[in-house]
Structure 1
Amino acid sequence: MSAADGQKIAMRGAGYYSANTVGAKYVIDKVGDLVIEAVARMPRLADGLPFAIADFGAADGGTSMDMMRRLIGAVREREPNRAISITYTDLPHNDFSTLFRLSQGLLGTSTEAPLAETPGLYIFGSGTSFYRQILPDNSLSFGFSATAMHWISKRPCMIADHVQAVGASNAEREQFRAQALRDWETILLARARELRSGGRLALANFCIDEEGRYLGHTTGADMFDSFARHWRDLLRTGRINEAEYVNATFQQFYKTPEEFAAPFRDPASPVSQAGLKLETMFTMVTPCPYAEAFRTHRNAGDFARAYVPTLRSWSETVFANALDPARPPSERSAIIDDFYGAYEADVAQAPEGHRMDYVHCVTEIVKS
């Protein structure tokens, strides 16, 4: 894969992602109040039009399902008979089968009626990147996305001695920043075309906050440094080669709040000219639920066995796809298992420093 090629991005499937990303659900639940308040400020639609919702980068849909119930309830409280649609979007190789089974109550342990059984609710899936327009012009009432838009459209270069832009050289990081800023404008312009006048977006994106904190870097061990160290150990021992080491460059970038806000602060920018306005922006840190639980139970082994799978749920495809496809599948699987096994042993041995606190920039955007 060349530096300009897109990386295959996917969360681990078969329900693994939702089952092992409790923190991601906590983030969405925290943003739920903002979503409900935003709906209350929206103008009523003309008769006969559906209230169209989209979840951009939904993965298997499990982490946002409770928030969607709240959103639907807020719409129905104002307009009991309004038809509602939800379009779940993600990349073509996303596990949409699990998403539809979760929505229909065929997976999971929810005691509530399946989301798909809500009267007058119509659920769709779109295997289309949020870097493209997904819905027709002027059709979207409310767009939502959480913990997804840090994945950029392509890797502008490879990172020579780390796995993520937070640990890249200055020159490498600047290439990632430039790509991420272009991508942010692309995302916003696509949403501007989709949104109705008065429609809103609520987005919770990973960021580097005002104190320099980011995912897995709030205190103690830096998660991405740990990834890089264990991946480098495989190179040092000959388990992987140099090309495979470098190819585990995450197609990600964490923007600052200022970078998120910049397109809205320039009245001449394409985003402002498209009618989008930034109404609310704040950062928040959501504590790692596994590290918080460890503070109570104090069992290092249990913590490591619970914590590392949440990292694996979203990172495994990066490392697995970095390996030479000519390797036998069993060999590739063994390397990946050993990689995460080493990380788990590291956590079990020195648990105090490990935690994956979520650091988000939350934005509420309205189309005039």
Structure 2
Amino acid sequence: MAIAMTTGYSAQTEGALLCIEAASDWALTCVEQLAAQSSHVLIDYGAADGGTAVGLWSAVLDRLHERQPSAHLTLIGNDLPSNDNVALAENVARQIGRPPKPTVLVSCRSFYEPTVAPDTVSFGFSATAMHWLSESPGPLDNHTHVLASGDAEALKRFTAQAMKDWTSILDLRSRELKVGGRLLTVNLSRDEQGRYLGNNGGETRNVHDQLHQIWRELADEGVISEDIYRRGTVLNFYKSPEEFMAPLKDSNSAPYRNGLRLVDERTVYVKCPYRRRWDSDGDTQAFAEGLMATIRSWSRHSFASVAGDAIGDQVFARLKQRIADSPSEWSLDYVEHHQMMERVA
């Protein structure tokens, strides 16, 4: 599975930070409603380098300590084994030096696997991580992202894999939660108008179409082979709210049988901070660099892993030039689904 965020991910993903900030109210609600206990384990699933969530965890720890001052708190950062877990450890450790002086740990196993012991987690959180697929559903012949491909057969394959992964993730998390524990997921989503990260319904260019055009150019120029072209697939899937909620509405699903229940859900939109800044200051060079870097932070591995680093870098050099040439036609707007859950039995 070719998934790895770029080094320095947090510095390149201002939009992800805004998505986390938009969920902070529900994160605080979750910990406010935890029953009093002598200790609580809190975990950030799919945290990347942890930098975007430092503020959220400071607020959560403060609120829980305020409510339960005698409880010992443990904060765990988690991502994939391929993650920059040294940076993650450094960022979660930023919580140590002030009350409530929590224990901080890093779980270096994949969030597609068990990460902590059963019945231990009081509050689990995940932001912009659970759209990645655990394995390839097969090739895309005409695009680099299934939702922009127009390929109905491929869409069925990718949907099936995404739902299998999501149900498995909720099964794992429901086993790790204590009874009464809360889970809050902040996921890249697809709304009922078909908008998703990189596709804002035609207000600006579809970012995934642009990445595909560059990838196709490289194949047409002979820089990459047709086989490499077909393997250059962004292995993620932006689920709809109905797809996110489906395992919690199916009494036969594993997470439902484990006692995981839906508490609340909402769709949240976050406008591109790089575009907003360009609208204000007109600095096209900074806009092109910043927008390219945030797109590269999550998509570079999809190309470099099959074609090598040099060609991966070519993709984003061309992307940066496209943005600089037509800045008014670019924006990376977020569609987010927030889902609050509780284990009831």
TM-score, length of structure 2 as denominator length: 0.96
Structure 2 residue 235 is matched with structure 1 residue 251 = yes
Partner of 1:140: 121
Can you list the C-alpha shifts for 1:276-305, whole angstroms capped at 9, x where unaligned? 110111111111100010111122222111
Partner of 1:108: none
Number of corresponding residues: 340
Partner of 2:315: 339
Among residues 2, 5, 17, which one is paired with 1:8 in the alignment?
2
Among residues 166, 174, 177, which one is paired with 2:159 in the alignment?
177
Compared CA separation, residues 36 and 353, structure 1 to 2 (3 A): same
Partner Cα separation in structure 2 for residue 213 and residue 160 of structure 1 = 23
Partner Cα separation in structure 2 for residue 313 and residue 251 of structure 1 = 14
Can you list the C-alpha shifts for 1:249-284, whole angstroms capped at 9, x where unaligned? 111111110111112222333322210110111111
Gaps of 5+ in 1: 1-6, 105-113, 324-331
Q: SS at 2:51's partner residue?
A: coil
Structure 2 residue 324 is matched with structure 1 residue 348 = yes
Are the equivalent residues in 1 in contact too, given 2:167–2:253 (CA < 8 A)?
no
Q: 1:30 Cα deviation (Å)?
A: 1.0
Among residues 186, 199, 202, which one is paired with 2:181 in the alignment?
199
Among residues 237, 241, 245, which one is paired with 2:221 in the alignment?
237
Partner Cα separation in structure 1 for residue 104 and residue 204 of structure 2 = 42
Are the equivalent residues in 1 in contact too, given 2:95–2:101 (CA < 8 A)?
no
Partner Cα separation in structure 2 for residue 362 and residue 256 of structure 1 = 11
Partner of 2:340: 364
Structure 2 residue 7 is matched with structure 1 residue 28 = no
Q: 1:336 Cα deviation (Å)?
A: 2.2
Q: SS at 2:262's partner residue?
A: strand
Partner of 1:116: 96
Q: SS at 1:53's partner residue?
A: strand
Taking only the aligned residue pairs, the percentage that are identical comes to 34
Name whichever of 219-228 and 92-101 sits farther off.
92-101
Give the counterpart letter for 1:136 in structure 2: A
Q: 1:206 Cα deviation (Å)?
A: 0.8
Partner Cα separation in structure 2 for residue 160 and residue 241 of structure 1 = 13
After superposition, residues 94-173 of structure 1 pair within 5 angstroms as 94-104=83-93, 114-118=94-98, 119-168=100-149, 169-173=151-155
Partner Cα separation in structure 1 for residue 174 and residue 267 of structure 2 = 23
Structure 1 stretches of 4+ with a deviation exceeding 6 A read: none
Can you list the C-alpha shifts for 1:176-227, whole angstroms capped at 9, x where unaligned? 1001111111011111110001000010011101221100111210010011
Give the counterpart letter for 2:254 in structure 1: P
Give the counterpart letter for 2:186 in structure 1: A
Are the equivalent residues in 1 in contact too, given 2:216–2:229 (CA < 8 A)?
yes
Among residues 23, 38, 52, which one is paired with 1:63 in the alignment?
52
Can you list the C-alpha shifts for 1:34-78, whole angstroms capped at 9, x where unaligned? 110121122112x3xx21011101110000111000110011001
Name whichever of 198-207 and 245-254 sits farther off.
245-254
Q: SS at 1:52's partner residue?
A: strand
Are the equivalent residues in 1 in contact too, given 2:65–2:71 (CA < 8 A)?
yes
Are the equivalent residues in 2 in contact too, given 1:82–1:120 (CA < 8 A)?
no
Structure 2 residue 295 is matched with structure 1 residue 298 = no
TM-score, length of structure 1 as denominator length: 0.90
Among residues 35, 41, 45, which one is paired with 1:43 in the alignment?
35
Are the equivalent residues in 2 in contact too, given 1:199–1:367 (CA < 8 A)?
yes
